[in-house]
Amino acid sequence: MAKIGFIGTGIMGKPMAQNLQKAGHTLFFSEHFDKAPADLVGDNGIALANPKEVAQEAEFIIVMVPDTPQVEDVLFRTDGVAAGVGAGKVVIDMSSISPTATKAFAEKIKATGAAYLDAPVSGGEVGAKAATLSIMVGGCPNAFERALPLFQAMGKNITRVGGNGDGQTAKVANQIIVALNIQAVAEALLFAAKNGADPAKVREALMGGFAGSKILEVHGERMIKGTFDPGFRISLHQKDLNLALSGARELGLNLPNTANAQQVFSTCAALGGSGWDHSALIKGLEHMANFNIRGE
């Protein structure tokens, strides 16, 4: 069983850490930002003062925080991970951040003698709790093989995409697809309801055909019921689409539908919905249509 540092125990990180503990691993948590959740601390969960101490104790150090600046802080602050790692250790960033920054972070960590993997995840809170996350990994094959048992405790579809940065690139591509599918489902249900059809029955009919999808199944139901407590917050999806759009500019690409979905998310944010689940994108469309599919 491995000694694992785990930094970032939020909506996604906490159940991921719990699944590693269920698999028998010992986890070390940093309290530099918040106290470690009490139910994670015990026989196989140890709270330490800062990321440096975590890195000194652990063989693997997993980071699961919201965005690029937070990853940089955890890794390279004075008492950060980089100050505590060295040969034989593996740093695994499971956050969703900039592919370009990831390549730079990887080089700095590898200069200490440690290995670096970027391993962002997809599947939301549901997947994190069920240990069914898709995990997209960038980094060297040897480090990937060493970390694979850890990934298997947290996810099901685990793919080494390529070198450092490629995992993050795959995650940005994933978020483009998810956003556009959410928008497609929202527009379809809005169209159906405005036309006088029962959106719940329309969703039921569509589930059996070529339009059926996990988004229609899970997020379509959220849209119909109006249950928008976050599994994945709109603000985080906006961050991911910003990565897509800024990357597209660097590459000379036009991603028109991605840009449009970002504008609808921005409408939701303007309505006070930054913390809503991303399925609440439909509320932005409803606002523009002055029509609500739930009759609210």
Last residue of a domain, one of 127, 145, 163: 163
What are 54-109's pLDDT values in tens digits?
999 999 999 999 999 999 999 999 999 999 999 999 999 999 999 999 999 999 99
Last residue of a domain, one of 163, 182, 213: 163
The confidence band for 240, taking pLDDT boundaries of 50, 70 and 90, is very high
Range 40-55 average pLDDT: 96
Last residue of a domain, one of 135, 163, 191: 163
Predicted pLDDT at 124: 86
Predicted pLDDT at 112: 98
Range 284-295 average pLDDT: 97
Is residue 121 one of the residues assigned to a domain? yes
Is residue 239 one of the residues assigned to a domain? yes
pLDDT, mean over the chain: 97
Same domain, 111 and 14: yes
Same domain, 11 and 157: yes
Instruction: Tell me the catalytic residues.
Output: 171
Same domain, 194 and 263: yes
Range 208-213 average pLDDT: 96
Predicted pLDDT at 231: 83
**Burial (Cβ within 10 Å: 0-12, 13-18, ≥19) of residue 142:** exposed
**What share of the chain in percent tops pLDDT 70?**
100
The confidence band for 296, taking pLDDT boundaries of 50, 70 and 90, is confident
Same domain, 247 and 111: no
Predicted pLDDT at 61: 98
Tell me how many domains the chain contains. 2
Question: Is the dihedral angle over the CA atoms 69, 273, 243, 180 positive or is it negative?
Answer: positive
Range 100-127 average pLDDT: 96
Range 125-150 average pLDDT: 97
Is residue 295 one of the residues assigned to a domain? no
Cβ partners under 8 Å of residue 252, min gap 6: none
Same domain, 232 and 159: no
Domain extent for 52? 3-163
Range 234-257 average pLDDT: 96
Predicted pLDDT at 198: 98
